[in-house]
Amino acid sequence: MKSSRIMLALVAALAPVALSAQSNDDVHKQIEGLKQQIQALEEKADAAKDMDTRLTKVETKIAPDNIQWGGDLRTRIDSAEWHFKPYQAFMGFAQNPATGMPMPLTQQAPAQDWTNSVQWSTRLRLNMGITINEHAKIMGRLVMYKVHGGADVPVFNGSPNTVANSFNTGKVPSTDVLRVERASLVYHFPLGILSIGRQNTTDGPPFEVREGGEREATPQALAVNATIDGMGWKFELEKIGLPEGTLLGICYGVGYESGFGGGGLVKTNAAPVGFNFTNVDINTTTGQPNMSKAAMQVNSIGPLKDTTVLGAMYDMPLLFQIGETVQSANFYLGYNRFGNMTDIPFGSLTNFPVPSMPGVAGMPSTQYVTATNNLGDMDQWTATWKHRVGEQFTYFISGGYLKSHPNGKVSQYGAYWDFPAAYGGTQQLAGFGGLMGDPTSSHTATAYYTGMRWDPTEKIGVGVEFNHGSPRWFTYSPATGEYTEKLGARGDVWEGYIHWRFAKNAALRLGYIDYKYSHAFSGWQISPGAMPGQSWEDSYDLSKNPMLQYAFPATVKNTYAAIEVKF
């Protein structure tokens, strides 16, 4: 009994020690295990840090070294209705049976309605950015814009956007060729920014409001929306205390190069410019003119001077806070001097200058047109104010003023007659005319463009825009409405749209554009002169039965829907 108690006592005395020894072992083992785990974790952390450093180096190296691509793809469907008011269609000249002198041939054209209910188009734009070094980069944009199944070369219908040339690349539907819309070197010097090459001169402010994106070009859209080759220099005025991003710039561009490629070389050349109607007499049996006797008129052209654009711009962005709302505003001023303007720069089209007419010419064919005369200079001033109030509301207003300085010359495209030498010989009786419809006197024109956009949510934008142009208004924007003139309209244009960004970088756009043209020749810097006894404004008022070689619509109603994807 006593031994058992002693044994029990010994066990009781030794048990804690035994248990303690066992716990200590376990704890020690656990601690060692944890140490190993911690060491493994630290090694993994070091490896991850090393991987991050390596990846950062790779990303940083890759980002500027390669060409950075971006862009957008748009597929659009348009449905348009055109209404033409009655006009006198100019057909040419014929011999007056009584006098033998030229008499104009006209045919009363009734009011007409044209409908193009379905027109699909696809536009692909590829933006390129190449960083050369910390100061220099190359910026470019390639564009393909074509109508589904459409003809590659537009048929000339009197509208300037049916002449395909390098100025409307990417703005007017053409072929499936990928064209270079922009390609310029941009270099940041301490004193300012130099850009040289094919400039960012399309889709300028305030078009970014409608697009729901960032400003895309230097000149205001009401001034220039065409592809211009040239150079520009901008002083960064934040260095003298003005708001960050304020720029004062000058630019120089070439609108028509007469010395290379174009038909008007620096020396005299020749080109078809229309028809000579001297031999067109009246058929005594039918009483109709014998148009088959009209002959192609080939004239001497040149030497011509290059068309130049010399411009100045002032941009001032403002960013400020009122209460809890952050607002931004932009103020733009622009001046352009278009020097030595010509009639039609080098381009391609169908049926001009030799139209396909029964008995006169044969098949419609692709023809190349070129400038035939320098017509004078033009001064253009534009100003734009754009204000974004918080996240949801943006409005803008843009105004333009234009003044011509003609040099007395007219376009050589037209209708000709051979008079006796004593009466002046071969003379142009009718033609495309001079600068702003008057080759001898200066004229002015004005326009304004305003709009607003409301973004009730991050995904929906609703906007409305209006622009008005005076009867002689001209702006260098070949086809801002993309197949009719919007900002170049002589009249009123309304546009409403809904922009639904239904997914990241993808949007659906629904829109409606209503054009009301008051006068003919929207989009042209030239036009024929006034009719005898009439003012120019009355002569080409579309509501007053004007005499026109080509029909100009009085109204166009265009509904469109587009899927736009950015990448």
Partner 1 sequence: MRNTLLSLLALAALAAPLSAQGSELKGKFFFKKTCKTCHTAGKPGKEVTPLTKTQAQWKAYFAANKHNKGKEKLGTGTDLKPEQMKDVMTFLVQHASDSPQPMTCGG
Binding flag, residue 51, partner 1 (CB under 8 A): no
Give yes or no for residue 561 binding partner 1 (CB under 8 A): no
Work out whether 70 is an interface residue with partner 1 (CB under 8 A). Answer: yes
C-alpha angle 533-538-541 in degrees, rounded to nearest 5: 145
Site residues for partner 1, 503-532, by CB under 8 A, read 505
Q: Name residues contacting partner 1, limited to 205-234 (CB under 8 A).
A: 213-218, 232, 234
Using only the alpha carbons of the chain, give its radius of gyration.
35
In the bound complex, what is the minimum distance in angstroms from residue 511's beta carbon to partner 1?
14
CB nearer partner 1, residue 127 or residue 350? 127
Are 169 and 142 in contact by the 8 Å Cβ rule? The answer is no
Q: Is 47 in the site for partner 1 (CB under 8 A)?
A: no
Nearer to partner 1, 154 or 204 (CB): 204
- Count Cα neighbours of 45 within 13 Å in the Cβ-side half-sphere: 6
Smallest gap from residue 304 Cβ to partner 1 (A): 30
Alpha carbon separation from 516 to 82, 393, 450, 456, 487 (Å, rounded) = 10, 28, 16, 30, 12
Residues near 552 by beta carbon (within 8 Å), at least 6 away in sequence: 84, 87, 158, 159, 517, 520, 521, 522, 542
Selected from 8, 425, 502, 545, the binder of partner 1 by CB under 8 A is: 502
Stretch that binds partner 1, among 153-161, 191-199, 254-262, 406-414 (CB under 8 A): 191-199
Q: Which of 63, 111, 270, 531 binds partner 1 (CB under 8 A)?
A: 63
3-state secondary structure of 65: helix
Is residue 398 at the binding interface for partner 1, with CB under 8 A as the rule? no
Determine if 106 is a binding residue for partner 1 (CB under 8 A). Answer: no
Q: Does 300 bind partner 1 (CB under 8 A)?
A: no
Give the other-Cβ count within 10 Å of 60's Cβ: 10
With respect to partner 1, which residue has the nearer C-beta, 202 or 467? Answer: 202
CA distances in angstroms from 530 to 405, 431, 437, 467, 547, listed in the order given: 17, 12, 7, 26, 10
Restricting to residues 120-139, name those near partner 1 by CB under 8 A: 127, 129, 131, 139
Return all residues near 457 (Cβ < 8 A) that are at least 6 apart. none
Task: Say whether residue 183 binds partner 1 (CB under 8 A).
Answer: no
Nearer to partner 1, 193 or 452 (CB): 193
CA 552 to chain centre: 22
Check binding of 249 to partner 1 (CB under 8 A): yes
The full DSSP string for 393-439 is EEEEEEEEEEEEEE-S---S-EEEEE--GGGTSEEEEEES-EETT-S
Residue 312 is a binding residue for partner 1 (CB under 8 A): no
Give the number of residues in contact with partner 1, rule: CB under 8 A. 51
Please give the structure tokens belonging to residue 339: 């020097």
Is 468 within 8 Å of 487 (Cβ atoms)?
no
Among 7, 40, 45, 326, binds partner 1 (CB under 8 A): 326
Does the footprint of partner 1 cover residue 169 (CB under 8 A)?
no
**Taking CB under 8 A as the rule, does residue 100 contact partner 1?**
no
**Could you give the CA distance from residue 550 to residue 157 in angstroms, rounded to a whole number?**
6
Whichever of 233 and 368 has its CB closer to partner 1, that residue is: 233
Select 60 or 365, whichever has its Cβ closest to partner 1: 60
Give the largest CA-CA distance in the chain: 164
Q: Does 180 bind partner 1 (CB under 8 A)?
A: no
Stretch that binds partner 1, among 60-68, 278-286, 335-343, 476-484 (CB under 8 A): 60-68
Query: Per the structure block, which two tokens stand in for 410?
Result: 């007219």
**Binds partner 1 (CB under 8 A): choice among 95, 168, 169, 200:** 200
Exactly one of 118, 456, 531, 545 binds partner 1 (CB under 8 A); which one? 456
Which of 219, 230, 72, 69 is CA-nearest to residue 144?
Answer: 72
Report in angstroms the alpha-carbon separations of 427 from 94, 275, 412: 14, 11, 10
Question: Which one of 112, 391, 441, 531 is in contact with partner 1 (CB under 8 A)?
Answer: 391
Beta carbons of 455 and 461 less than 8 angstroms apart = yes
The verdict on 58 binding partner 1 (CB under 8 A) reads: no
Q: What is the x/- site pattern for partner 1, positions 349-388, by CB under 8 A?
A: ---------------------------------------x
Least distance between partner 1 and beta carbon 95 (Å): 57
Please list the helix, strand and coil fractions of the chain in percent, rounded to the nearest 5, in that order. 15, 50, 35
Q: Which residues bind partner 1 (CB under 8 A)?
A: 52, 56, 59-60, 63-64, 68, 70, 127, 129, 131, 139, 184, 186, 188, 193, 195, 199-200, 204, 213-218, 232, 234, 244, 249, 319-321, 326, 328, 388, 390-391, 456-460, 462, 498, 500-502, 505, 566-567
